Amino acid sequence: MEGEEVEVAIRLDHDIVLARQNGRAMAVELGFSSGDATLIATAISELARNIVSYARTGKIVLKRIQSSGRIGIQVVAWDAGPGIRDVQQALRDGFSTSGSLGLGLPGVRRLMDEFAIDSKPNHGTVVTVKKWRQ
């Protein structure tokens, strides 16, 4: 089980739905509660929406993980888009460059147990999040 990966190319709105469905299905297979599976699916939707909105193309990689007897899911959102100029500002509630509510990255950080972001202007962004089964 550990290490099994599912990769979903993200280019269109339909791909967001596919990534969300795959993440929810993996979470259920791993024994997450229905509520936690929904939180994971929501985080995946936000990350994939950012790819479509800002980078146009990228991928979501879903991976089953295990550590210290815990079972979880890791989600990596990768793109080679314009990157984020000010990551700290992008992680503030209410900040948006697109006129949206600005809940994307801060919301994802709250929904998941672990959150890491690496972004370089003109080189893209990688967001890695993990959720551990309770």
For residue 65, the domain's CATH number is 3.30.565.10
Expressed as residue numbers, the domain containing 55 is 5-132
Task: Indicate if the pLDDT at residue 101 is higher than 50.
Answer: no
Residue closest to 62 by CA, chosen among 70, 72, 52: 72
The number of distinct structural domains making up the chain is: 1
**Are the CB atoms for 65 and 23 separated by under 8 Å?**
no
Tell me the pLDDT tens digit for each residue of 36-94.
Answer: 999 999 999 999 999 999 999 999 999 999 999 999 999 999 999 999 888 888 787 66
Binned at pLDDT 50, 70 and 90, residue 102 comes out as very low
Contacts 24+ apart (CB under 8 A), 98-104: 98/53, 98/54, 103/46, 104/46, 104/47, 104/49, 104/50
pTM of the model: 0.91
